[in-house]
Chains A and B, each alone.
Chain A
Amino acid sequence: MRQPTGGMHILLSPLRFVRSRFAEYYQKHPSAIQPPSAIERREFGFVLFKEKIMARHKSFKNAESLRSFLKAVVPLDVYYSSARYEKPEEKMEDKGRTGTDLIFDIDADHIPTPCRKDHDRWICSSCGAIGKGATPGKCSSCGEQKFQEETWFCEICLDSAKTETMKLIDFLMRDLGFSSEEIEVSFSGHRGYHICVESEEVQTLDQMARREIVEYILGIGLETEFHGLGERSEERSRILFGPGLDGSGWRGRIARGVYELLLSATPEELQQIGLRKKVASNLTEHRELLLESWKGKGPWGVTKDVGFESWKKIARHGAEKQSAKIDTVVTTDIHRLIRLSNTLHGKTGLRKIEVPITGIEQFDPLERAVAFKEGSATVVVSYAPQFKLGNGTYGPYQGETIELPMAAALLLLCKGRAKMVE
């Protein structure tokens, strides 16, 4: 969820075509647009096709006036504020904030996935060299540092974002105590998921409190000693102890993270987290024994050659895997604008849609977010990796003219990878 700044989303020529498709959508499905709760207290913002700038500080009395606005204006992107205000149309200082929903953003962009090298590429702005994967600091052929980046998103990216989302939901329900009815999960229409809690208790949390919640979920500042990992001496020997698998909050998470690590890690991986060679091989040699020990008090102190400091490293690493990779800025910003559900995403032509918590594992964003299910269009594609959309698979394309189903054509047009045939 980048804070929208306007800017060039799409090439000039397909603009008119995209706009009329968007117009058609808002015309045909007005009732799909469900306003946020307390609509009259929210600030709205829009990126407009024409100026490509963000128009902010708008407000609406009810769903009807919002819908007619969308029909008449046809924005590229539609946002509303996570905050509620007494006067949403005033300048920021005069709005009179009365509360803010607790929101989270999980963006595949922040998760290093292996598929990057298959679908992302960079082009050097000075010599034109092209490379795959993450953009380098310096061009390998001419040494310049300016690039044009072409990123894509695929099922693997979206799956990893979904995994993080499920971890977050677990934090929200088990640790913070929200019920599943209080948590609203959506696919953003591009690379990630938004999670929103509107309950009364969160409305007045200040920025510092939100930061503490963020750090709790990311495990920032976590010290395993506060969660039951320790040692004491007893009759001339040192006794190690640690949290159990069913412990509450971070205790159980640390234990489960350690369990997973011991289950699968190779000696090399264990060395990578800072363990000495002897310790690492000792751990893998006794793998069976260690995993068995969870039936009792856990693996802490089961083998003599693994000391307290080593267990601390293992526990910290286990904890790291249990954290949910949320964006820190979005949650702490109490004036944030968020995309409105069921509106179209200007960079993809897909809808932002709600995801049922119980069915999230089976949820296929690339099928469910398709807004245009009929018609087709012929476009000239500059470059696109192979991608899946709806129930079809398309590409890869490189400088070709092709007729595509409407949703696929719009995706390429919005992503700036295609133009219309004149």
Chain B
Amino acid sequence: MKIGDLASPEYKSVLDRAEDRIEETILFGAVTGQSDKDEVEIPSFPIAVMMVATIGVSFLKRRYALAEARRASNLLRNEREDKITLIANNFNWKIDSVEDPTNSLTYDFTLHYTDFLRNATGFHDKKWKLVNKRMSNGEVCLTKNDVVRLLEEEIRRYIEGKLDTDVGSLPETLMNRVNRLKRLLREKRGEARPLEPSKEVLINAFPPCIRELHGTITSGRNISHIGRFTLTSFLINIGMATEDVVNLFRSLPDFNERLTRYQVEHIAGGRGSRTKYVPPRCDTLRTHGVCPSMDDVCRKVYRPLAYYRRKLRVAQRSTSEEET
């Protein structure tokens, strides 16, 4: 199939289905449903990937990769062991399903620890720690559900990688659809308030620690508890609205609105706590591994907030100089 063919009328139902996948992702964060024709369903996925890559908004890329990965794992959960092994082998996993005729074992697969770690280190539950897994001879014992969850993560990263490749220019019929989806995305996110902090917050004046935490969150990855606390209290203290801080966490795959709102408001001094929290001191952040590396300004301060104020002063001075 060539990209140029996509404009021809036979492909209309494929394009419809592709657009469908993306629209559902934008609106509900999921891809469900299915065309009853394989020749529509199967090619609609790579086309949707091309379209999302063209839209180019990283929030959508992450959301789409996650939605497709979840869809895949939901389908896999009902598959037999050999089908799962087959998919895993596609990603070069060293995996074996375990013969268990007497049904006496508590696991279904063994997986090489390197494949396990590549996918599990981002999970927070203690059951995913290597130390809590049964391991022998480099093989980790896993249930079918465990393997499917790990595969979901592998698939998510795989799709994210695809979405970051350059797809070149698309034919006009496709561009019309892309533009329509862009508008939809803008409306949807406008309703949820912008993800980027409001104008008076100067990202350029963030210290390295905050810049890193902020970057991690906006790229949809989780951070530690102390990291979350540091970032939230920092943003609140430099005047960002609670609502905007909550929205920042919205790009996390496991975003929980109620809980996040509670935590942010608590730090902001609402919710009966009355105290407004400030970010920890640099030495505390250093011992918790939140401080990535110090720059020249860091050496003159003891708190991330002091860093920000200092930089802000310098920035203001230089703009007023420009004006005179």
- Residue positions of A touching B, CB distance < 8 A: 174-178, 201-202, 204-206, 208-209, 211-213, 215-216, 219-223, 226-227, 248-251
Nearest chain B residue, comparing its CB with the CB of A173: B137
Residue interface mask B119-134, A partner, CB < 8 A = 1 = 0111000110111111
Q: Identify the B interface with A (CB < 8 A).
A: 112-114, 117-118, 120-122, 126-127, 129-139
> Which residues of the other chain, B, contact A178 by a CB distance below 8 angstroms?
138
| Structural contact, A222 and B137, CB atoms closer than 8 A | no
For A175, give the chain B residue with the smallest CB separation. B135
Contact check: which of B113, B117, B134 meets A251 at CB < 8 Å?
Answer: B134
A205 to B138, CA, bound (A): 14
Contact A215 B129 (CB under 8 A): yes
A250 touches B131 (CB 8 A): yes
Q: Are B136 and A174 in contact (CB under 8 A)?
A: yes
Is B130 a contact of A215 with CB atoms below 8 Å?
Answer: yes
Q: Judge whether B129 and A212 touch: CB under 8 Å.
A: yes
10 interchain residue pairs of minimum CB distance: A177-B138, A248-B136, A226-B132, A209-B117, A208-B121, A177-B137, A249-B135, A212-B130, A216-B131, A216-B130
Please name all residues of chain A whose beta carbon is closer than 8 Å to the beta carbon of B114 when the two chains form the complex.
Answer: 201-202, 204-205, 209
B131 near A248: Cβ-Cβ < 8 Å: no
User: Are A226's CB and B133's CB within 8 A?
Assistant: yes
Total residue contacts A-B, CB cutoff 8 A? 70
Q: What is the CA–CA distance of A176 and B134 in the complex, to the nearest angstrom?
A: 11
Q: Is the CB of B132 within 8 A of A227?
A: yes
User: Shortest distance in angstroms between B148's beta carbon and chain A's nearest beta carbon?
Assistant: 19
Cβ contacts A to B, 22 pairs, < 8 Å: A174-B136, A175-B136, A176-B135, A177-B138, A204-B114, A206-B121, A208-B117, A212-B117, A212-B120, A213-B117, A215-B130, A216-B131, A219-B131, A221-B126, A221-B132, A222-B131, A223-B126, A223-B132, A226-B127, A249-B133, A250-B135, A251-B134
Find chain B residues with CB under 8 A from A227 CB. Answer: 132, 134
Known: A176-B113, A201-B114, A208-B121. A248 touches B134 (CB 8 A): yes
Chain A: minimal CB distance from B223 (Å): 13
B121 — which chain A residues lie within 8 A by C-beta? Answer: 206, 208-209, 211-212
Chain B residue contacts of A209, Cβ below 8 A:
114, 117-118, 121
Q: What residues on B are CB-neighbors of A221 within 8 Å?
A: 126, 129, 131-132
Q: Whose C-beta in chain A lies nearest to the C-beta of B115? A: A201
A176 and B138 within 8 A (CB): yes
In Å, the complex CA distance between A213 and B133 comes to: 12
B295 to chain A, nearest CB (A): 14
Residues of B with C-beta under 8 A to A176: 113, 135, 138
Known contacts A213-B117, A227-B132, then 20 further A-B pairs from the complex at CB < 8 Å, ordered by chain A residue: A174-B137, A175-B135, A175-B136, A176-B113, A176-B135, A177-B136, A177-B137, A177-B139, A178-B138, A201-B112, A201-B114, A208-B121, A209-B114, A212-B121, A212-B130, A216-B131, A222-B132, A223-B132, A226-B132, A250-B134
Q: Identify which of B117, B134, B135, B137 contacts A205 (C-beta below 8 A).
A: B117
Q: How far, in Å, is A411 (CB) from chain B's closest CB? A: 36
Chain B proximity of A365: nearest CB distance (Å): 30
Measured between C-beta atoms, what is the minimum distance from B215 to chain A in Å?
17
Q: Which residues of A contact B120 (CB under 8 A)?
A: 212
**A174 proximity list for chain B (CB < 8 A):** 136-137
Chain A residues near B139 (CB-CB < 8 A): 177
Residues of B within 8 A of A211 (CB): 121
- Of chain A, the residue at the smallest CB distance from B137 is A177
Chain B's closest residue to A200 (CB) is: B114
Partner of A220, one of B117, B122, B131: B131
- Residues of chain A lying within 8 A (CB to CB) of residue B135: 175-176, 216, 248-250
> Chain B residue with minimal CB distance to A223?
B132
Shortest B128–chain A CB gap in Å is 9
Smallest CB separation, B117 vs chain A (Å): 4
CB closest chain-B residue, reference A219: B131
Residues of B within 8 A of A216 (CB): 130-131, 135
Question: How distant is A219 from chain B, measured CB to nearest CB, in Å?
Answer: 6
Which residue in chain B gives the minimum CB-CB distance to A226? B132
Bound CA–CA A211/B138 (angstroms): 16
Q: How far, in whole Å, are A213 and B114 apart by their CA atoms in the complex? A: 10
For A249, list chain B residues within 8 Å (CB).
133-136
Residues of A contacting B133 in the complex (Cβ-Cβ under 8 angstroms) = 226, 249
Report the minimum CB–CB distance from A307 to chain B (whole Å): 23
Distance of A416 from chain B, by nearest CB (Å)? 31
* Residue contact B130 to A213, C-beta cutoff 8 Å: yes
In the assembled complex, the Cα of A248 lies from the Cα of B110 at a distance in Å of: 13
User: CA A216 – CA B138 in complex, angstroms?
Assistant: 12
**A220–B129 CA distance with the chains assembled, in angstroms:** 10
Question: What is the minimal beta-carbon distance from A214 to any residue of chain B, in angstroms?
Answer: 10
- Residues of the B chain whose Cβ atoms lie less than 8 Å from the Cβ of A213: 117, 130
Contacts of B132 in A (CB 8 A): 221-223, 226-227
Shortest distance in angstroms between B253's beta carbon and chain A's nearest beta carbon? 17
CB distance from A117 to the nearest CB of B (A): 30
Q: Which residues of B contact A202 (CB under 8 A)?
A: 114
Alpha-carbon gap, A211 to B130, bound state (A): 10
Q: How far is the CA of A211 from the CA of B129 in the complex (A)?
A: 10
- Docked complex Cα distance between A251 and B113 (Å): 17
In the complex formed, the residue of A with least CB distance to B129 is A221
A59→B229 CA distance, assembly (Å): 44
